[in-house]
């Protein structure tokens, strides 16, 4: 009997959630067959079989999580005979070990169901739901069968689960850890003084993605000595050139190039001139600077699951149009949580853009182990003095956050100076 274990599918993954089993007990499994879809902290990914046999049993059910290395299923390779295992039920909080399975008795069809549990009809209709919705429902302890989907075709989405938790529910008898007041769950301490009740607080448990975001950003902010520099770029010519290019592309049936595509392109070219910014800190030998030979720019994206940073490889050697095409493809994959580990790895510098939300400027937290991150605001008309004349021109604020262990203020300022100059000369960026 072969144990199929929870694989490590990303560098930050600690546990995975079973999204869907694509094989059933008794089915033949060949090498290379897709066994299961696993939801990591970054994406929903397929896991294939590395050995052949008969799919024997599921140990971790759909919607349940398991740490890396935990047995999630058994594959019968014909080398030994193990008793039929008892798979975990929907309410089981953890995976059943092989030892527990070996010592468990398999219930017969004539046994009555456990008191208090309802029998599930054999032909119950399937409830369609998104992976995030199933994960959210599991963490909040909500049955998917009680929810009504508002997504396409009645599909249950994450917002349906969150909306359901906002409804009033009575306090659970005997719950000594948390109290519920009018649908608001509070900690034991807050239930005594009623502070959460007065604030109308509602508990929103972290998803696996949010847990990783919280952990990594906290570590980055705590361990990396950040400093920030802000410059203003005159992008009047860039805005006009972009309008002309997009008008031509639209006439040819091609997608538009965004302002962010030009910013990524300009950043990559600026990194070519300032390789010291395209670097990382290494603690080895008392601390050293790693200079990266390739310019791989991560693009921060906000999706339903949380913040992800897919990577544009060799961005300095690609025109803005190609960067735009690749970014759109990565965005689509991120929305569906289909990003591969390769698409999320190898970044040397990150661009975070909140201009589309009307944000003028902000400081971003470094995406470790990178040495710097660029925060871009919106490009808007402002009154400026140019050649002694007062006029309205499009201005763009850029803030560089850098690791002071490997990058000095003057180095960061020189990088921004080059970046501002490039954005002011759009023909250099386009070519």
Rounded CA separation 273/260 (Å): 20
**One domain, residues 366 and 279:** yes
Domain shared by 75 and 165, yes or no: no
pLDDT band at 9 (very low <50, low <70, confident <90, very high): confident
Number of separate domains in the chain = 3
**Residue after which a domain boundary falls, among 168, 199, 230:** 199
Lowest mean pLDDT among 112-126, 130-144, 308-322: 112-126
Mean pLDDT of all residues in the chain?
A: 81
Residue 140 banded pLDDT, cuts 50, 70, 90 = confident
Q: Which of 181, 226, 292, 404 is catalytic?
A: 404
pLDDT band at 100 (very low <50, low <70, confident <90, very high): very low
Q: What CATH number is associated with residue 395?
A: 3.30.559.10
My answer on whether omega of the bond before 369 falls inside 30° of 0, hence cis, is: yes
The answer to whether position 120 is within a domain reads: no
Is 155 within a domain? yes
Q: Are residues 34 and 143 in the same domain?
A: no
CATH number of residue 80's parent domain = 2.40.50.100
Whether pTM > 0.85 for this model: the answer is no
**Does 206 reside within a domain?**
no
Does residue 405 lie within any of the structural domains? Answer: yes
Residue whose C-alpha is closest to residue 165's, from 137, 186, 191: 137
Do 260 and 409 lie in a common domain? Answer: yes
- The domain in which residue 254 lies consists of 211-430
Last residue of a domain, one of 150, 179, 199: 199
Same domain, 182 and 217: no
Contact 429, 266 (CB under 8 A): yes
**In terms of domains, do 371 and 413 share one?**
yes
**How far apart, in whole angstroms, are the C-alpha atoms of residue 318 and residue 421?**
19
What is the spatial distance between Cα 391 and Cα 383, in angstroms, rounded to a whole number? 6
Residue 262 resides in a domain: yes
| Angle at the Cα of 155 from the Cα atoms of 9 and 334, rounded to 5 degrees | 35
Sorted by sequence, the CB contacts under 8 Å of residue 61 that are 6+ apart come out as 18, 87, 88, 89, 90, 92
> Is 404 among the domain residues?
yes
Residue 375, both tokens: 């925060």
| Residue of 138, 22, 23, 13 lying closest to 70 (CA atoms) | 13
pLDDT of residue 118: 44
Q: Is the separation of the CB atoms in 267 and 349 below 8 Å? A: yes
Q: Catalytic residue at 181?
A: no
* 387 and 299 both lie in a single domain: yes
- Between CA 183 and CA 239 the distance in angstroms is 50
Of 46-50, 132-136, 151-155, 351-355, the range with the lowest mean pLDDT is 151-155
The confidence score (pLDDT) of residue 167 equals 52
* 341 and 291 both lie in a single domain: yes
> Is-contact 149 155, C-beta < 8 A?
yes
The reply to whether 52 and 169 lie within a common domain is no
Q: Are residue 174 and residue 233 in the same domain, yes or no?
A: no
Query: Which are the contacts of 100, defined by CB distance < 8 A and separation ≥ 6?
Result: none
The answer to whether residue 204 sits within a structural domain is no
């Amino acid at each position: 009997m072969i144990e199929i274990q929870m694989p490590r599918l990303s560098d930050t993954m600690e546990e995975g959630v079973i999204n869907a089993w694509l094989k059933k007990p008794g089915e033949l499994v060949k090498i290379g067959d897709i066994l299961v879809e696993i939801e990591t902290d970054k994406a929903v990914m397929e896991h294939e079989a590395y050995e052949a046999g008969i799919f024997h049993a599921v140990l971790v059910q759909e919607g349940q999580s398991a740490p890396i290395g935990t047995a999630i299923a058994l594959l019968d390779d014909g080398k030994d005979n193990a008793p039929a295992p008892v798979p975990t039920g929907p309410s089981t909080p953890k995976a059943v070990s092989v030892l527990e399975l070996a010592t468990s008795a398999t219930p017969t069809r004539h046994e009555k169901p456990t008191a208090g549990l309802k029998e599930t009809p054999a032909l119950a209709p399937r409830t369609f739901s998104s992976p995030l919705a199933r994960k959210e429902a599991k963490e909040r302890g909500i049955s998917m069968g009680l929810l009504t989907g508002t997504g396409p075709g009645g599909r249950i989405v994450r917002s349906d689960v969150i909306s359901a938790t906002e409804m009033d529910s009575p306090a659970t008898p005997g719950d000594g850890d948390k109290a519920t007041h009018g649908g608001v769950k509070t900690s034991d301490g807050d239930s005594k003084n009623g502070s959460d009740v007065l604030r109308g607080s509602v508990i929103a448990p972290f998803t696996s993605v949010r847990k990783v975001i919280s952990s990594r950003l906290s570590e980055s902010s705590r361990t990396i000595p950040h400093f920030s520099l802000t410059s203003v770029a005159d992008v009047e010519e860039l805005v006009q050139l972009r309008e002309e290019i997009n008008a031509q592309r639209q006439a040819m049936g091609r997608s538009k190039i965004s302002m962010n595509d030009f910013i990524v392109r300009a950043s990559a070219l600026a990194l070519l001139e300032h390789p010291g910014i395209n670097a990382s800190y290494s603690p080895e030998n008392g601390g050293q600077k790693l200079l990266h030979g390739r310019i791989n720019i991560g693009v921060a994206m906000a999706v339903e699951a949380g913040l992800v940073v897919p990577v544009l490889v060799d961005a300095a050697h690609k025109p803005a149009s190609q960067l735009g095409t690749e970014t759109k493809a990565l965005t689509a994959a991120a929305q569906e949580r289909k990003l591969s580990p390769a698409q999320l790895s190898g970044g040397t510098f990150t661009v975070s853009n909140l201009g589309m939300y009307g944000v003028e400027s902000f400081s971003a937290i470094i995406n470790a182990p990178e040495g710097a991150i660029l925060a871009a605001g919106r490009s808007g008309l402002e009154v400026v003095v140019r050649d002694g004349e007062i006029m309205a021109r499009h201005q763009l604020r850029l803030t560089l956050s850098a690791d002071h262990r490997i990058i000095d203020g003057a180095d960061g300022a020189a990088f921004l100076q080059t970046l501002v100059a490039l954005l002011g000369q759009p023909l250099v960026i386009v070519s």
